[in-house]
A and B are shown apart, each in its own frame.
Chain A
Amino acid sequence: MRSLLNRYVKLAVLCLCGLGVCGASSAQNGTVKVGVLHSLSGTMAISEVTVKNATLLAIDQVNASGGVLGKKIVPVIEDGASDPAIFSQKAQKLIQQDRVVTVFGGWTSASRKAMLPVFERFHSLLWYPVQFEGNECSSNIMYSGAQPNQQILPALDWAFEKGKKRIFLLGSDYVFPRTANLILKKHIVQGGGTVVGEEYVPLGGTDFSSIITKIEIAKPDAVFSTLNGDSNVSFFKQLAAAGITQARMPVMSFSIAEQEAKSMGPSLVNGSFAAWNYFQSLNNPDNKKFIAAYKSKYGKDAVLDDPMVHGYVDVLIWAAAVKKAGSFDPNAVRKAATELGWTDSPMGQVKFADNQSLYQTAYVGQLQPDGQFKVLWQSKGALRPEPYDALAFPGKRCVVK
């Protein structure tokens, strides 16, 4: 009985002390807290850590130029651990416990979907930096990553221009590839092309032998790949081993940027294509400044890519919107952000549309032996973001309250 008694004492003590520790009040004079919520562990850490770095760089720069509204920005960094439930939990912690004024973060659609109810419930604001499948329209999220019409459809236009009409769709098994391919299929058929295959590999999958056989049978003009992360390395290695060259059958990837090319070894993916809204090789003054600043903070070997620059630009636009609104109130800030007008950025001129997504230019690039992309094509000016594709989802419109 003695042990039983002890057990209860412990249980009670735990509940009283362990939980009673409440976070200290956050708003000190002269500083303001913002949340930075990315996966620092788990499978997504590979991609998200660099976005976190770019976000922190932007916060440093804003602080160096005097902060916003006379306050220094203090980032509160949390780990989403590649787990949607943790993202939702940490988002709640940042808002309720740390009392941050806004949050920069998220990568996978799953993490964004899990955080969305939290931001709506507490009337806060999330800045989401990654290209995604659209079909979402929340007034509590600023979507700076590309909508489908700003990345995958321009890539299809380019392929059709080059006479590549037989397309094989290959993706990792999650929401972005499946929805992106649904949209692509409608546009391929409408444009007079043919979908010669559609295959999905579980996330983290490394065996492509069967899929390569299927590709060899289908003989496509091009493969459109929405493979994620490390699966790309396996795919390209096994493609090369099977003797399929980029010249014979080009691959257009939507998830390979400079970061991935570097870790895969550029020789492996040399000659393959990618569509993004930013390449490190873009030639504009803002980009040169951004690259120099990032390299001086994180080392000479660092490379930059599209999601990172979005994470960076988000902070700058937020700071500008706060200044314009004269307040940190999420509601005032998101309105001000859509009224800012065109801003120069490392990816060219951008501005937030009234649907809280970003006007941006689409680029198609080809990977060079040095790991950089050579820009082959760009859209005529910045494209208006369309969360709902008119062909695939007729009648749907995004109106932000």
Chain B
Amino acid sequence: MKKRLELSFDAAMLAALALAPFYLSSYHLSLLGRFLALAILSLGISLIWGWGGILSLGQGVFWGLGAYVLAMHLKLTGLAPGDIPDFMMWSGLDHLPGWWRLFQSPLPALVGAIAIPAAVAAGLAWLVFDRRVRGVYFALITQALALAFSTLLISEQAYTGGFNGLTDFTTIFGRVIIDPGFQRGIYWITLATLALCFLGCRWILNASFGKVLLAIRDGESRVRFLGYNPAAYKTVAFALAGALAGLSGALYILHVGVISPAMVGVVPSIEMVIAVAVGGRASLPGVILGTLLVNFGKDWISSAMPEVWQLAMGLLFILVVTVLPQGLAGIPGAAARLFRPRRKRQEPEAPRREMRKGAAMAAQEKD
């Protein structure tokens, strides 16, 4: 009965989103499309943070890698034979660098947009987790990585387009971007990808992998004593999140048509995490909701009152983290507790928060 109810809501939800092109204005549809693409990234953050307890402040790097790889492909397909992209010309290059050619055809570009971020994520994660560096240290290292990545992109202008990034694509896989039918097509592809990723994540988390991940979050040493290798599990989770981020970035530029270092640096990386925190870090539907809500909110507030945007964002951070650590997904539970105060609540997916201060500090790795 419950199962059937859940399924029917899934279907209703999906149908509402799938029919969006018929009732939304073209502008709002394009916003919804790009935010759904971002939601794929959020699923990955939920996987590593909500379930694995790994806070990454550098997801913009993996997202950006995916976006850049696809953008390179799009840049190449728009060229006449023998031509080089305009920014290479005005940066003093006279021929196409070899590694750009890798992404000349669509398949390597698509695979690369997912595999390259996943590989980089796996490499970094293994280096760091194997040395049992974690928690705040890991968060700070990933933040520095985001800074270094955007600095590198900017300084290697001849190869990356520099501060301007890559933009001005004319065709995607043979279709002209200006074509209005194209926008709907891309929207539906994004939605279908998100749905698949959602199901995939749910499947992984319900399997034993998810249980071990959760156990690592709540007591890494204990899991190690039980004979598991937490570093391996965390590395796999982080690589998965990297793959999701790359996929998200690749889809995002199909909607936006531009990728630049300003979109992958320290601040955007944190905003990605905040959207997840608002939705509820350990709830997959929650993070999708959070991503849509925060981004639409940003679009709306920054139009209506630009000066207020930063204040609103700051307050939102503080409130969500202090008052509502389980995000919007925690509201129904909290409400239910309010009405039935006696009953012990069952929230398997949310981290246990209420601890004595001293004990909590001694057990810092629980966070």
Contacts and interface: CB of A to CB of B under 8 A. Distances in A.
The reply, when asked whether chain A contacts chain B directly with Cβ atoms under 8 A, is: yes
Contacts of A2: 332, 336
A92 interface: yes
B164 A109 contact: yes
A110 B165 contact: yes
A20 B162 contact: no
A382 B338 CA distance: 74
Nearest to B310: A41
A7 B286 contact: yes
A113 B168 contact: yes
B177 A173 contact: no
B294 to A, nearest CB: 11
B165 to A, nearest CB: 7
B24 A179 contact: no
Interface string A86-107: 1011101100110000000000
Given A7-B285, A113-B167, A133-B90, A96 B263 contact: no
Interface string A1-21: 111111111111011101110
B302 A96 contact: no
Contact of A114 (B30, B92, B167): B167
B90 A174 contact: no
A93 B16 contact: no
Nearest to B263: A85
B32 A3 contact: no
Contacts of B154: 173-174, 202-203
Contacts of B95: none
A120 B92 CA distance: 27
B77 to A, nearest CB: 15
A40 interface: yes
A135 interface: yes
Interface in B278-310: 283, 285-286, 288-289, 292-293, 296, 299, 302-303, 306-307, 309-310
Nearest to B169: A117
Interface in B1-41: 2, 5-6, 9-10, 12-13, 16-17, 20, 23-28, 30-32
A393 B31 CA distance: 38
Interface string B52-88: 0000000000000000000000000000000000110
A84 B155 contact: no
Contacts of A96: 25-27
A182 interface: yes
Contacts of A202: 151, 154-155
B163 interface: yes
Given A40-B307, A135-B89, A174-B162, A89 B256 contact: yes
Contact of B178 (A89, A109, A121): A121
A20 B167 contact: no
Interface stretch (A64-72, A74-82, A342-350): A74-82
B257 interface: yes
Nearest to A181: B92
A93 B289 contact: no
A174 B161 CA distance: 9
A108 interface: yes
Q: Give the dominant DSSP class at A's interface.
A: helix
A114 B86 contact: no
Contacts of A166: none
B157 interface: yes
Residue with the greatest number of chain B CB neighbours at <10 A, chosen from A41, A89, A116, A120: A89
B257 A19 contact: no
B169 A11 contact: no
A11 B306 CA distance: 26
Q: Give the dominant DSSP class at B's interface.
A: helix
A27 interface: no
B190 interface: no
B236 interface: no
B263 A84 contact: yes
Given A7-B285, A89-B299, A96-B27, A114 B258 contact: yes
A24 B40 CA distance: 31
Contacts of B302: 41, 79, 81, 86
Contact of A175 (B162, B178, B258, B283): B162
Given A22-B25, A135-B89, A40 B306 contact: yes
A334 B165 CA distance: 28
Contacts of A160: none
B5 A117 contact: no
Interface string A183-223: 00000000000000000101100000000000000000000
Given A7-B286, A19-B28, A12 B12 contact: yes
B90 A179 contact: yes
B260 A85 contact: yes
Nearest to A38: B306
B256 A7 contact: no
A31 to B, nearest CB: 19
Closest CB pairs A-B (n = 5): A79-B306, A174-B163, A3-B332, A6-B332, A8-B9
18 contacts: A3-B333, A4-B6, A5-B5, A7-B289, A11-B289, A12-B12, A15-B13, A15-B20, A40-B306, A41-B302, A79-B303, A85-B260, A93-B303, A108-B163, A113-B258, A117-B167, A135-B90, A173-B151
Given A3-B329, A178-B157, 10 more contacts: A7-B328, A11-B285, A19-B20, A41-B310, A78-B306, A84-B167, A89-B299, A116-B168, A121-B177, A202-B154
Interface of A: 1-12, 14-16, 18-20, 22-23, 40-41, 78-79, 81-86, 88-90, 92-93, 96-97, 108-110, 113-114, 116-118, 120-121, 133, 135-136, 173-175, 178-179, 182, 200, 202-203, 392-393
